[in-house]
Every structure is written in C-alpha cells, then in structure tokens.
Amino acid sequence: MSLLRRQLSTSTTNNIETRDINGLKTKTGNVYESIAIVAKRANQINITIKEELHSKLEEFASHTDSLEEIHENKEQIEISRAYERMPNPSLLAISEFMEGKVYYRKNEDADLFS
C-alpha cells in the first residue's frame, strides 16, 4: 500500500494541535529526547513521501511536446494536490510517536566525554 493511501486512511488531521509536554516526556523520560525522535521520524516520512511523489510524477515525464501533454499535466496536478492535502510529516510523526508506533533505541555504549 502506498504511503499516500496509508496516510489518508489514518485519522491524523492537517490541523496543528497543542500537545501536553508531559505526554511527550513520559515516553522517554526526557522532553528533548522525545522531540529528537519525533524530528528524525518526521524526516524519514518526508523523504519517503518525496521519493514516492517523484516516482509517480516520473511516469508522466515525456521528452516530446504533444497535445496529450495537457491531459498528463492534469493528472500530474491531481497527484500533486493529493500529496499537498496530506498531513505534515511532523504531525504524522507526533501521532505515530504518541501511539507507540515508533521504534527507537538509546545508544548507551557511546561515551561523549572520553
């Protein structure tokens, strides 16, 4: 299932909601660590969406001009609009994090001061 269909089937809205900082903190014990995890997940979602959009638009790429190009442009516009209506990747990442759908781990072996 494409990411577009999967994201449109979720209940995540395009509206920004205020979040309880303590809710973010309870997942990891540290607000900043939670925000870093959400930011990394949002970046992953953004990259996936961008790659999927470019692959779908690449199907319409033509190197010659013709009358059919007008119809192709309409299809390209519809695909682009569908992706524009998707929720922001950061909103998707926050909802995934709060629902416990994000896997993360701490690198305890790394010692920054030695």
Q: Is the pTM of this model over 0.85?
A: no
Could you tell me the maximum CA-CA distance found in the chain, to the nearest angstrom?
Answer: 66
pLDDT of 1 > 50? The answer is no
CA end-to-end span of the chain: 46
- From residue 20, alpha-carbon distances to 87, 98, 106 in Å are 20, 11, 23
Q: How many residues does the chain have?
A: 114
Domain boundaries, the chain: 21-98
Distance CA 64, CA 69 (A): 9
pLDDT at 23: 86
pLDDT of 41 > 70? The answer is yes
